[in-house]
Chain A
Amino acid sequence: MHQKAGKNGPSFKEDATMRFDDIIIGGGLSGLLCGISLAESGRKCLIVSQGQSTLNFSSGALDFLKTKEGESFEEALERLPQEHPYKKIAPEKCFLLRAEVAGLLDRAGIGTFSDIRRNHWRITPLGVLSQTWLSLEEMAHFDKEALPEKVLIVNISGFLDFSPSLLASGLAEQGVRSEICEVSVRETDTARANSSEFRSVNLARVLDGYAASRLAEAVNGKIGDCDFILLPAVFGLESDTAAVRFLQMLDKPAALVPTMNPSVPGIRLQYLLKKRFKELGGTFLAGDTACDGIVEEGKMTALRTRAQGNSLFEAENFVFAGGSFFSEGLIAGKDEIYEPVLGLDVDYSGSHGDWFSPDVFEEQPYMSFGLRTDADFRVSLKGRTLENAYAAGQILSGAAPFRNGCLGGLSAITALRVASMIKNE
């Protein structure tokens, strides 16, 4: 029996419980996708979410894996170091999971663009072309061979979380010329009342319907000889209709570029996934923190959360999808890195000074730290695998998502893999 559980041992017997089929700790991309996949097959799931997830900082794209020129995903997977989570999934299964992610997002009302076999290019806010596998439909995505010649970069007057000049200089390095302009309508000027908190979400709240159509008119007046238009992603918090409609009103092909956080496309992605999960009968408990649990004979049987006090949540399966350090799925203490709910086995090495490199552009060891899992993504406690507890997403060890270019994709793929393990597929 786990020591924490042992400490509170006898009193636990008198605790009240609420039962679910599966409990997922973490309400971000991996938690939600895993929950939806389980709920779609009729399972009763609970997601416990401490706060908003890193989807609020999303680029609006999921990167599956960086590939070299002409390389297929399968070849790139082959090259990955043995500790990478993808290595636990057979390449043909991984292929199917990519298709499954796109299908699941589609059923949640999220329009996407992806090619199951290869990467395409997205544009970062710095104008750098970056490989990605799946983009939200309205986000800028290109074939490298078919870049526009001259781009009109549009910003909303007073909006500081988007830098057209950085974008322009980045594009210039790719040989793409650009022109910069600012537009505004009455509604965006009103939202500007508070200049220091004039954020993407404030714009998204007003840029719909009539305001959006007048904004489109203003943009159309500035197109000149440009053959493509780029704008900040400030359209549509709860559906992509506002973004799609706006882009359709423009006289030239157009797409959106991520802004500084909060990310409107990310918030929408989360909103729609949460909505889908609840429509399928899932219980999403926001603002509660998983803090303890019971483990008996190699199985996790119950979870305790901060808000519920003496009430426990029981389930057949548990999924640890609480993200990495920012989301507190992992905690870096002074001398140890630990998982805060059960104290699960974590892969990390060295002491505090060895965890990071002072040069931020160098490889950062802490980015590979995470939960130790077996070939089926089951976690372990003091060296013993828990037969019904899994991990998915950023909390997994060995991912190094920035180096490997698998941010977002890793969460999606491993979440659906764990769901399929639970469903026994």
Chain B
Amino acid sequence: MQDKNFQECVKCTVCTAYCPMAAVNPSYIGPKQAGPDGERYRLKDKAFYDYALKYCLNCKRCETACPSGVRIGDIIAKAKLESESFKPGLREMILANTDLMGSLAVPFSPIVNKALGLDISKKAMDGILGIDHRRTFPSYASETFVHWYRRKAARTQKKFERQIYYFHGCYANYNFTKLSKDFVRLMNACGYGVRLLDKEKCCGVALISNGMGKQAARQGKINLASIRKAGAPVLTTSTTCTMTLRDEYPHVLGLDNADVRENIQLALKFIYEKVESGEIKLAFRDDCRKRIAYHTSCHMERLGWWIYATRLLEMIPGVDLRILESSCCGISGTYGFKKENYEYSQAIGKKLFDNIRDAAADIVATECETCKWQIEMSTGFEVQNPICILADALDVEATRALNGVR
């Protein structure tokens, strides 16, 4: 069925006025022309505005701005997948296959991490692949979260009366396992057992943005089947995975998730709601004296769920929370790693970097992993996921007692 959403566009150009890419790159025609305008022409010929699609960050800020409910970002993402001229090369394969790269890298993580950090390998990746040498790759963990979970946590999860499933995503599995381990610790203290899905594949966001729609759809089907089988809330700690599973699956990949969409939730939303309804009680230590600058990532802005993250952070005694003006950090996943995008990426992020420096906070909080890399690299400030901040500030024993965990 032909999706007619693009016809809701009234050509007001508001989206282009708020597009972070159009703001720094005068040769980008902007979301209105690349999206709903272009879609009309593409009905005749897929080649229209082809050249412009690669500039889109998929930040979805155009959709948040649109007064008429046009899914501009989705239209562009879909056009990109169907475009003849936008075919993935070796670089795209490497950047987008986070699952595969993670599985290969973790067993050799000390060597891989070292190698990725060397100037010579950065230069080689820059010269041969077109991955900008100024970028720092996130380091790989010595053991995946899933491996750790099976070894250390799986057995104890069943004893909890209440159970949730965890869609950990690639970053919390291969790279930053503190996040996934903190999440298990936090949920356990609140009286919830954490289970893993039958089969979890990468959500596919990087595949979508790098032109590998078929593979993304294959992985999507496996994920949706596992989520259906779970039949219980499936919680996430990554905003981008969440948005992909909930919104890009139906709108870009054409996968129907209507029956399970409400089950897929950011853990922060779930926890806040349970705290409000009294089903979860949190006790914090009182030694957390921190000023936290909260950065609303683009996909969190689109989800509209930052209110839960900030309200939870405000519950921690001693926290002075500053909510930064929501603006794009510029990296947009694999986008900013590409050599030709590096300068744009940094120009887009400049406003956010300045705001972070002005806030003079101790740490920056955000749920998005790639925002974390970008902000840490560009400002030198430490960035943490609110889940880790909550877990670190938690009085585990008191919380367990409050929630009746023995």
Contacts and interface: CB of A to CB of B under 8 A. Distances in A.
Nearest to B273: A16
B325 to A, nearest CB: 8
A50 interface: yes
Contacts of B307: 18, 283, 285
Nearest to A189: B26
Contacts of B13: 197, 199, 261-262
A289 interface: yes
Interface string B302-315: 11110100010000
B262 A310 contact: yes
Contacts of B276: 16-18
Interface in B240-286: 262, 269, 272-274, 276-277
A365 interface: no
Contacts of B64: 51, 286-287
Interface in B13-65: 13-14, 16-18, 22-23, 26-30, 32-33, 63-65
Contact of B29 (A190, A196, A288): A196
Given A52-B65, A53-B67, A286-B301, A194 B12 contact: no
A308 B276 CA distance: 15
B273 A311 contact: yes
A190 B27 CA distance: 9
Contacts of A205: 23
Nearest to A278: B323
A162 B377 CA distance: 42
Contact of B304 (A17, A56, A275, A288): A288
A311 B269 contact: yes
Interface string A162-206: 000000000000000000000000000011111011010110010
Given A196-B33, A288-B304, A52 B69 contact: no
Interface residues of A, number: 41
Given A51-B14, A51-B69, A267-B17, A16 B277 contact: yes
Interface string A299-330: 00000010111110000000000000011100
Given A52-B14, A199-B13, A287-B304, A193 B67 contact: no
Given A51-B14, A267-B17, A287 B29 contact: no
Contacts, number: 102
A18 B274 CA distance: 11
A331 to B, nearest CB: 12
Given A286-B301, A327-B67, A199 B17 contact: yes
Contacts of A16: 272-274, 276-277
A52 B67 contact: yes
A193 B52 CA distance: 14
A358 to B, nearest CB: 20
A287 B326 CA distance: 12
B202 interface: no
B66 interface: yes
Interface in A257-280: 261-262, 267, 275, 278
A57 interface: yes
B68 interface: yes
B319 to A, nearest CB: 16
Nearest to A313: B307
A199 B303 CA distance: 29
Contacts of B22: 197, 202
B97 to A, nearest CB: 31
B26 A191 contact: yes
B12 A305 contact: no
A51 B66 contact: yes
Interface string B127-150: 000000000000000000000000
B17 A56 contact: yes
Nearest to A17: B276
A197 B67 contact: no
Contacts of B262: 309-310
Contacts of A196: 29, 33
Nearest to B66: A51
A376 to B, nearest CB: 29
A190 B274 CA distance: 53
Given A283-B307, A307-B303, A51 B68 contact: yes
Given A56-B14, A190-B26, 17 more contacts: A16-B276, A17-B276, A51-B66, A194-B26, A194-B27, A194-B30, A196-B33, A197-B22, A199-B13, A261-B12, A286-B64, A287-B63, A287-B64, A305-B304, A310-B262, A311-B269, A328-B68
20 contacts: A16-B273, A51-B65, A51-B67, A52-B66, A56-B14, A190-B26, A191-B26, A194-B27, A194-B28, A196-B29, A197-B22, A199-B13, A205-B23, A262-B12, A262-B14, A262-B16, A286-B64, A307-B305, A310-B273, A328-B69
Interface of B: 10, 12-14, 16-18, 22-23, 26-30, 32-33, 63-69, 262, 269, 272-274, 276-277, 301-305, 307, 311, 323, 325-326
